[in-house]
Amino acid sequence: MAGASMNDIKSRIKSVQGTMQITKAMELVATSKLRQAKLRAERTLPYMRQLLSLMNSITSASELRDSVWCQSSDAGKTLFIVIAGDRGLAGGYNSNITKLLRSIAPEGSSVFLPVGKKARDFIARHGYECPLGAIDYVADAGVGDCMTLATGICEAYTRGDITRVVLLYTDFVSMMVQTPKVSELLPLGKNADEKDAPSPIFEGDPSLMMDKILPLYLGGALHSAIASAYASECASRRTAMNSANKNAEEMIGELTLKFNRARQAVITQEITEIVSGAEAL
Amino acid sequence: MTPFKLTVMTPDGIAYEGEAVSIIATTDEGEVQILARHADYLAALGTGRVKLELPDGTVRTAASSGGFLTVQNGEVTLSAVTFEYKEDIDLERALRAEERAKKELSSAKDARDERLARARLNRAVSRIRIAREK
């Protein structure tokens, strides 16, 4: 009886150790990927800042506040761009995004653009529409992919197929904090700076400038959000694996204690048997 | 010549930050040259050559596509979608891209496909031309 339970405990310890090896390796991988992902996310910021200030100078210089890009309408559909991860085992990373999506996306009047395998799977499982395509893998989404999608979005917006574009991603605040975020990309003007800047010399027609800059702005925003989301994914995987390691260590400690007690019980029992056997002689 | 502050950036990061005495870029309307003390300016960039002249006399050539060239308070910013210095261009890859784009162009189903393929072809051709320049 006692021997059998000793073997049970031994095999449990072994299996927990095996799991811990995996989580430890995953933590190391996530840590090294996180370093690169964080740099990539930081590199996208100057471009975004530049494009935002450009858009402000164009909207304030020419009377484009009444253009199609700034008009809000309740009639058409809303496009939700959903950025999630490629793989699981990253704590609440993927479910936080899908939970947020379910809480804000009205059924029926929404279309979707999933980025990342988990986002695509979620959208497919619910049978939602994604007429503008998707990016399958977050890790190797390049500037070109983002720009092509952004052009498609702008075309659909000018056709009136969609009247609102909302971006859902996980903002990389710091190594420890990542928050799911909703950001309205179109129509413009909700967070645009309305002060009048002196107007620059335009090469070409200023009203055409907006049509040129918008795909770049959307593509840049998408690219930057993807980079930030990927860094968040790595960070939350690292945190999740770190706590898995701690739990495994704790479990191994408890099991070792149990094992030693069981072993001690077996020895005590044997001695008692020998002593009582000797007394009987 | 008088130097001015120049920043070249793409969504992937900053490609050049520092002083320059001249920048020539290809806009939608043709090539433009910006020197120091230019008035505030904004132009959409096409696909083509960018030439930077640095204060020490070195000239750097690059292939760029898309984006904007702006001058604000004497500071010049080129925010391109792609920007590669001549020596960084992967000629093999550009040649492959040219082949692929030509095939896509001949099998394009609608106007949108055709436009995308044509843009891709333009970018590849411009990279090849700049990489082969003396």
* Cβ distance of B116 and A148 shorter than 8 Å: yes
Sign of the alpha-carbon torsion through B108, B110, B111, B112:
negative
Instruction: Report the residue of chain B nearest A220, measured CA to CA.
Output: B11
What is this structure's pTM? 0.82
Cα angle at B124 between B118 and B125, to 5 degrees? Answer: 85
Looking at the domain assignment, is residue A32 inside a domain? no
Q: How many domains does chain A fold into? A: 2
Residues of A in contact with B116 (CB under 8 A): 148, 151
Pairing of strands B82-85, B59-65: antiparallel
Cα angle at B121 between B120 and B125, to 5 degrees? Answer: 120
ipTM reported for the complex, 2 dp: 0.79
Instruction: Report the residue of chain B nearest A225, measured CA to CA.
Output: B11
**Termini Cα distance of chain B:** 25
Residue B25 has pLDDT above 80, yes or no: yes
Shared domain check, A182 and A253: no
Give the integer Cα–Cα distance in Å for A81 and A145: 14
| Mean pLDDT, range A66-91, rounded to an integer | 80
CB A122 within 8 A of CB A105: no
A255 vs chain B: nearest CA distance in angstroms?
50
Looking at the domain assignment, is residue A218 inside a domain? yes
Shared domain check, A10 and A111: no
Shared domain check, A206 and A252: no
Residue in B27, B41, B82 closest to A143 by CB: B82
User: What's the one-letter identity of residue A166?
Assistant: V
Q: Tell me the CATH number of domain B90-132, given options 1.10.3470, 1.20.5, 3.40.50, 1.10.8.
A: 1.20.5
Shared domain check, A195 and A249: no
> Would you place residue A191 in the very low, low, confident or very high pLDDT band (cuts 50, 70, 90)?
very low
> Would you place residue A197 in the very low, low, confident or very high pLDDT band (cuts 50, 70, 90)?
low
pLDDT for the residue A133: 78
| Mean pLDDT, range A262-279, rounded to an integer | 92
Residues of B in contact with A47 (CB under 8 A): 9-11, 13, 79
- Crossing angle for the helix pair A143-159 and A206-280, nearest 10 degrees? 120
* Cβ distance of B79 and A204 shorter than 8 Å: no
* Cβ distance of B11 and A46 shorter than 8 Å: no
C-alpha distance from residue B58 to each of A174, B52, B75 (Å): 40, 8, 20
Residue in B12, B28, B39 closest to A201 by CB: B39
CB A23 within 8 A of CB A241: yes
Sign of the alpha-carbon torsion through B50, B51, B53, B58:
positive
Segment holding A47, helix H or strand E: helix A45-61
What are the pLDDT digits (tens) for B29-65? Answer: 889 999 989 988 888 888 889 999 999 989 999 999 8
Where in chain B are the domains?
Answer: 4-86, 90-132
The CB density around residue A243, as the number of other CB atoms within 10 Å, is 12
Would you say how long chain A is, in residues? 281
Shared domain check, A64 and A84: yes
For residue B25, list its beta bridge partners: B32
Looking at the domain assignment, is residue A188 inside a domain? yes
Shared domain check, A262 and A162: no
Task: Report the range out of A126-135, A182-191, B121-130 with the highest average pLDDT.
Answer: B121-130
CA dihedral A50, A55, A60, A65 (to 10 degrees): -160
Instruction: Please give the CATH superfamily to which domain B4-86 belongs.
Output: F0F1 ATP synthase delta/epsilon subunit, N-terminal (2.60.15.10)
For residue B31, list its beta bridge partners: B26
> Would you place residue A236 in the very low, low, confident or very high pLDDT band (cuts 50, 70, 90)?
very high
For residue A112, list its beta bridge partners: A80
Q: Which two tokens stand for residue B55?
A: 């204060």
Phi and psi (nearest 5°) for B120?
-65, -40
Residue in A44, A146, A204 closest to B28 by CB: A204
Q: What is the mean pLDDT of chain A?
A: 84
Looking at the domain assignment, is residue A123 inside a domain? yes
Shared domain check, A218 and A185: yes
Give the integer Cα–Cα distance in Å for A207 and A195: 19
Nearest to A216 by CA among B44, B17, B126: B44
Residue A124 has pLDDT above 70, yes or no: yes
Give the integer Cα–Cα distance in Å for A212 and A20: 52
Give the integer Cα–Cα distance in Å for A15 and A9: 10
Reduce the DSSP state of residue B71 to 3 states and report it: strand
A29: exposed, middle or buried (Cβ count in 10 Å: 0-12, 13-18, 19+): middle
pLDDT for the residue A263: 92
What are the pLDDT digits (tens) for A200-219? Answer: 677 767 667 777 888 888 88
Looking at the domain assignment, is residue A37 inside a domain? no
In sequence order, what are the residues at sequence separation of 6 or more whose Cβ sits closer than 8 angstroms to the Cβ of residue A13? A252, A255, A256, A259
Phi and psi (nearest 5°) for A6?
-65, -45
Residues of B in contact with A57 (CB under 8 A): 42, 72
Shared domain check, A258 and A150: no
Sign of the alpha-carbon torsion through A50, A51, A55, A58:
positive
Shared domain check, A234 and A256: no
Domain of A151?
A: 44-239
Shared domain check, A194 and A223: yes
| B85: alpha, beta or left? (left if phi > 0; alpha if psi -120 to 50) | beta
> Would you place residue A190 in the very low, low, confident or very high pLDDT band (cuts 50, 70, 90)?
very low
| Mean pLDDT, range A176-187, rounded to an integer | 85
**Termini Cα distance of chain A:** 27
Shared domain check, A196 and A146: yes
Shared domain check, A258 and A194: no
A109 vs chain B: nearest CA distance in angstroms?
26
Looking at the domain assignment, is residue A38 inside a domain? no
Residues of B in contact with A220 (CB under 8 A): 11
Nearest to A34 by CA among A22, A45, A42, A46: A42
> Would you place residue B91 in the very low, low, confident or very high pLDDT band (cuts 50, 70, 90)?
confident
* Cβ distance of A203 and B27 shorter than 8 Å: yes
